[in-house]
Structure 1
Amino acid sequence: MKNLVLTVALAACVATPIFAQPSSQTALANFIGKDGKETGRAALTAAKNGVFIEVEVTDLPPGKWVGFHIHETGKCDAAHGHGTAGNHFNPGKTEHGFLAANGPHAGDMPNQYVGSDGVLRAQVFNSMVVLDNAENGIRGRALMIHAKSDDNRSQPSGDAGERLACAVVE
């Protein structure tokens, strides 16, 4: 019996670090609003051909479609209107928008609807990016929610308006 207890205890000690390590297949991003306060979170999961993004963000304009993009720089400074996140993530140097002849950017994603409660809840799959270190990798970049819907044509960013919430992909 003593050997069985020792074996189980050793197995637990050996197995624990494996499960305690963060996965390179997942990431979190905490959204910061215009006022600098945390307003929500995104959970990102690497998939075979892209990244699955689950997002919930509060304090947005109720009952509106808003632009949702990946931006090139992982800096979300509310004091500067989240301008520190740079432009849309575009490693392929393509045109902006799903309706552009030579688009879209890797950071272009479909518009999202904000419910009457001012909360955006969405699940988005982006097949143009990967989670980790690669030319089209998004870890360390920013997710952005804009004030207006993206028209999917205007260059360089779809006329989506003000940056309302920003989150760095950790």
Structure 2
Amino acid sequence: MFRKDTPIIDYAKLIEGFRACDVDNRGVLTKSQYRKLIKHLKIGNYPKANDAFISITYSALCDENKKGITFESARIIYEASVQGSKTKLNSLILFRGIDDDRDGRINESQFQKIAKLVDSELSNSDIENLFQKCCPNEEKTISYTCVAKNLFNVTCWGEEDPFTQKLASQGNLSTCCLLL
């Protein structure tokens, strides 16, 4: 029995879209193939999905060994987008994708990119106020924990490292098994 607030995720559409985009049958999508999948699934505010969403999510979950997005990573992004923008899973994906040096801290420009993806209605002054609320350090950077609490309204226990947390365990549907 499903709760009323449980998002309905069309896994058949995800599988079909992934297979259609994976023209080489490698089980891995290049960035251009990933862009097509995002369009097919209508996630990331499509049709307005901008390159920022695609680049950030691709960067966050790109498998460096396989040089692309695996089905498991595509599933995580799909589940995160269906569940809503202000979730722990989404905060981890977006933060990982924007934190280029992977030190667990981002600057105001990076924060602004994430904030626009989370809430396109935020004005520049709203974003600046949120950034200042996060108490940037002397280098004008803020931690993942501050971003999660203030932008995503997510509860964090102490300082959390976004790069050591398992993304698959953050989704409420992470235990389902899909056969391709």
Instruction: State which structure, 1 or 2, has the greater radius of gyration over its C-alpha atoms.
Output: 1
Q: Specify which structure has the higher proportion of helix.
A: 2
Give me the TM-score of the superposition, normalised by structure 1.
0.28
Name which structure has the greater RCO, CA cutoff 8 Å, separation 6+: 1
Q: Which has the higher strand share?
A: 1
